Structure 1
Amino acid sequence: MLFTRSFLTLLSLVALVAADPLISRHVLHEKRAHTPAGWARSRKHDAAAVLPLRIGLTQSNMDRLEEMLLEVSDPDSPSFGKHWNAGKVAQTFKPSDETVSTVHEWLKTSGIHPSRIRLTKAKTWIEVNATVEEAEQLLQTEYHVYTHESGKEHVACDAYHVPEHVSKHVDIIMPSIHFDAVIKRDGASSHTLSNIGQPGVGLTPKTTGTISDLLTQLENCDQQITPICLRALYNFVYIPVATSKNSYGIVEYTPQAYLQSDLDMFFTNFSKGQVGQSPKVVSIDGGYAQTEYTGFGYNGESDLDLQYGMALVNPQPVTLYQTGDMVEGASFNNFLDAIDGSYCTFEGGDDPYNDATYPDPYGGYEGPEDCGTTKPAYVISTSYAYNEADLSPAYAARQCAEYAKLGLMGTTVLYSSGDNGVAGNSGVCLNADGACTQSSSATGFNPSFPGTCPYITSVGATQVVAGHSVYQPESACMEVIYSGGGFSNYFAMPSYQQSAVQHYLAAYPPPYSASQYNATGKSRAFPDLSANGANYVVAVDGQFELVFGTSASSPVMGAILTAINDARLALGKGPIGFINPTIYSAGFTGAFNDITNGTNPGCGTPGFSAEPGWDPVTGLGTPNFAKLLARWLLLP
């Protein structure tokens, strides 16, 4: 009798599940590959403790994101150049009413009273203060307290699950698997970069020291790169005429900052009319050009970016987006919040475990978070990057989608591809454990991010070969730094680069196994383009130094693309926007200087080889300004 009654009860439950679409089995939603170095699980979290759960809702039309971007970016599209405004972007991608109601009903039927369920004004995420016990039941997981070797504690789970019918409506839930892998500063006196969300961890320009004698003639460009070398290399002769319509932005992250005295020293020698000129500084989340701390580590990056960016586009003003205060710093997401108000809450908003939070809880900038406070420039260059494996796929995908939104609005986004060849920042590679752990002794190629995002333009590095002139072909950079390049482990290959990359793989198959890199032939490949990254003459702290890095390549490419925008705007046309579909198109074949010499070593290998056509060392090659200008001016 007891067995029969239990069996009937079970049948009733099965019938209930079949009849009620709001009840379904849980499926794995997100899983952390490994516990970051320095952290160890210490104890089970208190069941009665309260967690501020934030559920990022899936955006509408994300399955059409690439299609929509190509409509305004593909030179063969009748809608080429018809960029969207921010309002259309926000309206197109906001979560659907079905998504909001599905997640709301899931929480309610799980025992969360409706009065505790908060939908944000933008309807992009749902917030619930839940006990650990409630959260564990909701997500079929366990929360533990992890302790860092410094003593700091963090709450996280290894993985979490959501009902199958809910999963397509949820992008990300926090707190969950995401980790603060590098400790925040205790105060302004500590200058370790704040956390894994802080750009520039390991990717900084390199210097071989001070320069005793300046070599300013074209015949010396194999030893010292100056603005005239770059103009000769890339046929870049142009004086902007539509500066009031145009814009060029360079992003820096505090504590990296320029010194005006260094700009003036550089301009005195290479662009006399700019002495006393400064960038237009836009402060984001308390960012400012700090002068409390100096040295190459503090001033090298910003001095390099601004000296060459400003000199090459003069008289076009340059906007400096100085991001983050001296205590927390900032992430790429903090910057993106400021230039696109819809992003502040996009897919759940920032991750407090990866992104800086403002007002600064650690005593720095006490103002409100910058959200939609500044207009994005037509071209934005950033010389910082993460290792792709540093971030969860969901976190990287969320940010990558924002770059697509910027492309829809007509902004060209450039990122340095990395300075360690096929290895990641600091020369670390991926272990063959299937968990994306990283170490200096590993052999798995370690791609950079955002370089692997299909909606940005990744810029690698070249150099003038020793003993050669600027009129001879460059090589992939193999002095001090190696051009970052390879294949993503997260992102699929975009349609615009399929032909070029598949040609490379067929004609020049890499001599490596699938255990070393993503050899499927179906993943996003990078870089897209390249520019010189070796032997730059840069004024740093009152003296000239010789500087190397893709940190130089990106702002130089940005300057050239800004000049192309100027010419188009002067003719009443729009900015070039997201350039990848155009530069990979048949109409732009031959518009770049093909680089066929050099490799990008790393992970105990020679890396990939530069070959005719696109390659994962120098991309399509370096720019030929005159050819690019002529072809872009023919487009509507």
Structure 2
Amino acid sequence: MRLQGIAWALSLVALASAVPSRQRRSDLVVHERRAAEPLDWVRSRRLEPTAILPMRLGLAQSNLDKLEDMLMSVSHPLSPSYGKHFSPQDVVNTFAPSGETVARVTEWLVESGIAKERLRMSASKGWIAFNATVEEAEALIDAEYHVYTHESGAEQIGCQSYSVPESIRPHIELIKPSVHFLHRVPSPDQLQKRAFERPSTHIRTGPKTDGRKVTITPSLENCDETITLDCLRALYSIDHTPVSTDKNTFGILEFTPQAFLQSDLDMFFANFSPSQVGTKPILISIDGGVDQTDDQGFDTNGESDLDLQYAFGLTNPQPILLLQTGDLVEGASFNNWLDAVDGSFCTFEGGDDPTQDGIYPDPLPGGFKGPESCGILTPPFVVSASYGSDEASATRAYAARQCAEYGKLGLLGTTVLYSSGDDGVAGNGGVCLNANGQPARNGKRFNPDFPASCPFVTAVGATQVNPGSTVNDPEGACEQVIFSGGGFSNFFEIPDYQTAAVNSFLKNHPPPFTSAQFNNSGKARGFPDLSANGANYAVAVAGEFVLVFGTSCSAPVVGSMITLINDARLAAGKGPVGFINPAIYSEKFSSAFHDITTGGNKGCNTPGFTSTEGWDPVTGVGTPNFTALLPLFLELP
């Protein structure tokens, strides 16, 4: 982002209050360090001491240590409380910071010279906000803010670490802006169009294509070459027509400028589902999100066209909510859509991290001038997100706070699905990590995906109909154009629901890699959780059919199946399934999945992990057998 006219307005006017004196270093402990030093950025200068920073302190939430247990109680099929999901107010009340935390942090700030009348608090008590000069902020948290410059001309600010008193550390989750860094820059064309770097550029987006065009409507006999709706129905035994569409909700998440073209939807429907011609999603505009049509082509229409064409086709006649996030100028991050479905997570006056999240209202020319979208819709029962980023690009505190929010959505009864990545054990673009956990061009350490590595989301990997095989033959892990993202988190511990599966994999099929290459402690969250086909999808994009590959394909297919299951449960007078991981890992549900035992997910100059019997970090527990899965979920309360 550029420092001139950026959304959170670094002013050169000093605040009138006194500057806090530097606290003695012996009183301070480092709270966060930058997760990964940026490639291709140069630290060019110290930030001016009179510039204004929008300081946001994320307070430690209550009961987070009980979140997994609470989630298991409403999600595990053997729990007597299965399906008894929380209300939004229950969630706010359960996790609001304690009165002691609010009081201790406020007292520290006031004693450090930040006048109490300058402090503001979010409605959920989750954040304390105040504006401070760079000089004040650096004295308060013992940090040095620098300007970083990219050869493209893009600029952003940050510090390498910051500290707080040891007695205060338990009461603070993270402080922003600080160590979080946007590692990727937009293309020269994007720099010309947009006033500063869109936060969403750190998000992996877009499926892949091998350039082939589909000129005739394929048949069921050649699903190894072209995947269609009929192929997916045959592969996963999908046979259910929704009847509770007025009660059910299915959300597809997209980040502007990625957008669908209605003409593409109609072209797809005309070929594969004629009754749906003219069908369009219900647009939910989050922070100025628009389904733009000015930029057309695979890079801007491919993802959204893919998601909507297959989600609509598989769940017909279920309406679909399009969660279009971010304006054309600034874009958005994962936190922006989380704000929209949970007002208690939402902050104020740009309380999100300016280097990661879209900050609204957007003062830039052409930017969204409305208020930040906070709690504007009830969380859909299913949300499918074909996006991701590298776990290493976030700090542990940032990732943990976001991951906890996914857990809260599970408590509310929402299934959150994220694609697991398309680069095997490597990160976005094939980038791996060095021995210090930093992105490096010659790195050898595996680079997990996030949010897929969060234990409170359902991570979806990719399979393929092997060349020469039919829909009646076992699938393999996807090894055409893309490789199913999978591995073990460097941030998150293994959840209880997954412990037996991961232990079995590590014991019975030990990978030929050392701790220098991946987190082989046996205590790390493994992903993906399950898979679906991700190769050779026929998708109408910008007026022509092309073949599309990626876990981007897999996520909306699984989302469609869960939506159909929810439909059947609603028709039976029951509620949505919510967080599905405890169920799909349970022994009773094992027969409802096709185990994938061939193929790998190469990356970082290795063959990657290998698919094998049972759960594996390539395809998870396997692909769903809808006909077997539906009655198991219908049996539950």
Please state which band the TM-score falls in when normalised by the shorter chain.
Answer: over 0.9
Question: Which residue of the partner structure matches residue 389 of structure 1?
Answer: 392
TM-score, L = length of structure 2: 0.92
Structure 1 unpaired stretches of 5+: 1-22
Q: Share of identical aligned residues, percent?
A: 58
Task: Report SS of the residue matched to 1:341.
Answer: coil
Amino acid at match of 1:328: E
Q: Aligned partners of 2:77 and 2:635: how far apart in 1? A: 10
Larger gyration radius, structure 1 or structure 2: 1
Q: Deviations over 1:41-65 (max 9, x none)?
A: 2333444444332211111111111
Question: Which residue of the partner structure matches residue 206 of structure 2?
Answer: 204
Over 3 Å counting, the alpha-carbon distance change for 1:212 and 1:407 in structure 2 is closer
Q: Aligned partners of 1:621 and 1:573: how far apart in 2? A: 27
Amino acid at match of 2:543: G
Does 2:314 correspond to 1:312? yes
Task: Report SS of the residue matched to 1:135.
Answer: helix
Give the 5 Å matches for 1:344-363. 344-345=346-347, 349-363=351-365
Quote how far apart the aligned CAs of 1:113 are: 3.1
Question: Which residue of the partner structure matches residue 292 of structure 2?
Answer: 290
Question: Which residue of the partner structure matches residue 129 of structure 2?
Answer: 127
Contact 1:307 1:538 in 2 (8 A): yes
Q: Aligned partners of 1:189 and 1:114: how far apart in 2? A: 40
Q: Aligned partners of 1:367 and 1:219: how far apart in 2? A: 51
Does 2:379 correspond to 1:366? no
Comparing 48-57 with 234-243, which one deviates more in the overlay? 48-57
Does 2:558 correspond to 1:557? yes
Task: Report SS of the residue matched to 2:463.
Answer: strand
Contact 1:430 1:437 in 2 (8 A): yes
Q: Aligned partners of 2:595 and 2:195: how far apart in 1? A: 37
Contact 1:281 1:319 in 2 (8 A): yes
Does 2:529 correspond to 1:540? no
Amino acid at match of 1:415: Y
Question: Which residue of the partner structure matches residue 526 of structure 2?
Answer: 525
One of 69, 86, 102 as aligned partner of 1:67: 69
Quote how far apart the aligned CAs of 1:145 are: 3.2
Question: Which residue of the partner structure matches residue 327 of structure 1?
Answer: 329
Q: Aligned partners of 1:309 and 1:210: how far apart in 2? A: 23
Does 2:452 correspond to 1:486? no
Contact 1:56 1:349 in 2 (8 A): no
Question: Which residue of the partner structure matches residue 621 of structure 2?
Answer: 620
Structure 2 unpaired stretches of 5+: 1-24
Over 3 Å counting, the alpha-carbon distance change for 1:185 and 1:343 in structure 2 is farther
Over 3 Å counting, the alpha-carbon distance change for 1:184 and 1:124 in structure 2 is farther
Q: Aligned partners of 1:315 and 1:104: how far apart in 2? A: 52
Over 3 Å counting, the alpha-carbon distance change for 1:400 and 1:635 in structure 2 is same
One of 376, 379, 383 as aligned partner of 2:382: 379
One of 393, 402, 406 as aligned partner of 1:403: 406
Does 2:422 correspond to 1:419? yes
Q: Aligned partners of 1:298 and 1:431: how far apart in 2? A: 32
Comparing 538-547 with 143-152, which one deviates more in the overlay? 143-152
Question: Which residue of the partner structure matches residue 509 of structure 1?
Answer: 510
Quote how far apart the aligned CAs of 1:180 are: 3.4
Quote how far apart the aligned CAs of 1:153 are: 4.1
Comparing 349-358 with 591-600, which one deviates more in the overlay? 349-358
Amino acid at match of 1:334: N
Q: Aligned partners of 1:507 and 1:581: how far apart in 2? A: 22
Q: Aligned partners of 1:95 and 1:314: how far apart in 2? A: 43
Q: Aligned partners of 1:481 and 1:337: how far apart in 2? A: 32
Task: Report SS of the residue matched to 2:168.
Answer: helix
TM-score, L = length of structure 1: 0.92
Question: Which residue of the partner structure matches residue 140 of structure 1?
Answer: 142
Amino acid at match of 1:382: A
Contact 2:493 2:523 in 1 (8 A): yes
Task: Report SS of the residue matched to 1:355.
Answer: coil
Question: Which residue of the partner structure matches residue 89 of structure 2?
Answer: 87
Q: Aligned partners of 1:206 and 1:138: how far apart in 2? A: 46
Question: Which residue of the partner structure matches residue 497 of structure 1?
Answer: 498
Amino acid at match of 1:306: L
Does 2:83 correspond to 1:77? no
Task: Report SS of the residue matched to 1:472.
Answer: coil
Q: Deviations over 1:111-134 (max 9, x none)?
A: 333333333443222223334333
Q: Deviations over 1:469-519 (max 9, x none)?
A: 101100000111110000001111111000001000000000001111111
Quote how far apart the aligned CAs of 1:632 are: 0.6
Task: Report SS of the residue matched to 1:165.
Answer: coil
Question: Which residue of the partner structure matches residue 17 of structure 1?
Answer: none
Over 3 Å counting, the alpha-carbon distance change for 1:263 and 1:129 in structure 2 is closer
Q: Aligned partners of 2:305 and 2:127: how far apart in 1? A: 40
Question: Which residue of the partner structure matches residue 45 of structure 2?
Answer: 43
Q: Aligned partners of 1:261 and 1:184: how far apart in 2? A: 28
Contact 1:476 1:597 in 2 (8 A): yes
Q: Aligned partners of 1:201 and 1:113: how far apart in 2? A: 38
Question: Which residue of the partner structure matches residue 4 of structure 2?
Answer: none
Quote how far apart the aligned CAs of 1:190 are: 4.4
Q: Deviations over 1:435-484 (max 9, x none)?
A: 42232x32211111110000000000000011111011000001111100
Q: Aligned partners of 1:316 and 1:125: how far apart in 2? A: 38
Task: Report SS of the residue matched to 2:347.
Answer: helix
Question: Which residue of the partner structure matches residue 443 of structure 1?
Answer: 444
Amino acid at match of 2:473: Q
Over 3 Å counting, the alpha-carbon distance change for 1:423 and 1:186 in structure 2 is closer
Task: Report SS of the residue matched to 1:490.
Answer: strand
Contact 1:203 1:418 in 2 (8 A): no
Task: Report SS of the residue matched to 2:346.
Answer: helix
Over 3 Å counting, the alpha-carbon distance change for 1:353 and 1:474 in structure 2 is same
Quote how far apart the aligned CAs of 1:192 are: 8.6
Quote how far apart the aligned CAs of 1:34 are: 3.9
Q: Deviations over 1:367-391 (max 9, x none)?
A: 1111111122101101011011111
Task: Report SS of the residue matched to 1:281.
Answer: strand
Over 3 Å counting, the alpha-carbon distance change for 1:323 and 1:413 in structure 2 is same
Does 2:98 correspond to 1:96? yes
Quote how far apart the aligned CAs of 1:135 are: 2.5
Amino acid at match of 1:35: E
Q: Aligned partners of 2:576 and 2:50: how far apart in 1? A: 55
Over 3 Å counting, the alpha-carbon distance change for 1:369 and 1:48 in structure 2 is closer
Q: Aligned partners of 1:149 and 1:361: how far apart in 2? A: 25
Over 3 Å counting, the alpha-carbon distance change for 1:165 and 1:397 in structure 2 is same
